[in-house]
A and B are shown apart, each in its own frame.
Chain A
């Protein structure tokens, strides 16, 4: 699946990872305008980034992170490292992607 777009670049020993995930990120506070019913919460709760087998970054999110979330972080590393990024949402959905650092 391609719900994640990721870019990982290394410059001077620091790897910058930029990721864009496609997800509705419903807060559970919004109403369906036609039916007046509440739209149930559906958002990513956790994003885990693993570089070369080591967890470097974990994001814990509420529904207040924007739709189709963007995330960027920096960590020590080298060119050719493998970055694995995965997310889990509150409905049990998940996705992951692996990329080689350029």
Chain B
């Protein structure tokens, strides 16, 4: 209990520090892009995470998204992921790993003139589907790929 309380306190402190900085105009450009709901990172299932992040889990699979990930990841701590999309008006590109304890891994907000492309490396607890969620023109599109993990990268 106590530990959680500490963490809570810390988080509130950090949160307010950011708020103050934003207020002071230090992080002003940030306001241009919608702030990402941090609760989505705490969600325990893909559906919950989608709802927390985008307000709905109503999505359709799209062939205009290319999700590049290894078939077999030897080390779950470093799984390279590249997402490319030819969709128009891309607002955000998110990465979800279905079986991680918190499926939502990362969400990238793009502005006008930014190409539908993101490349990064993620941790995966065990073999599961990696889902790329692209928000374009107010709608959600997804693309899935199964990645087999030999050594987990979370916990242990």
Give me the interface of A with B, judged by CB distance under 8 Å: 14, 27, 29-31, 38, 40-41, 45, 48, 50, 53-67, 69-76, 88, 90-92
B74 → chain A closest CB, angstroms: 14
A90 → chain B closest CB, angstroms: 6
- B113 and A75 contact, CB distance less than 8 A: yes
- Give chain B residues whose Cβ lies under 8 Å from the Cβ of A65: 105-106, 120-123
Interface of A is mostly: strand
- How many A-B contacts if CB must be within 8 Å? 125
- A14 and B115 contact, CB distance less than 8 A: yes
- Let me know if B9 is at the binding interface, CB within 8 A: no
- Let me know if B2 is at the binding interface, CB within 8 A: no
Most chain B CB neighbours (cut-off 10 Å) among A14, A45, A55, A76: A55
Most chain B CB neighbours (cut-off 10 Å) among A27, A31, A50: A27
Interface of B is mostly: mixed
Q: How far is the CA of A14 from the CA of B101 in the complex (A)?
A: 37
Contacts A60-B108, A62-B105 given; indicate if A40 touches B7 (C-beta within 8 A): yes
Total count of chain B residues near the partner, CB < 8 A: 48
Contacts A62-B104, A66-B122, A88-B18 given; indicate if A75 touches B30 (C-beta within 8 A): no
- Let me know if B78 is at the binding interface, CB within 8 A: yes
- B122 and A74 contact, CB distance less than 8 A: no
**Nearest A residue to B116, CB-CB:** A74
The digit string for B80-108, where 1 denotes a CB below 8 A from any CB of A, is 10100000000000000100111011111
Q: Give the residue of B14, B38, B105, B113 whose beta carbon is less than 8 angstroms from that of A56.
A: B113
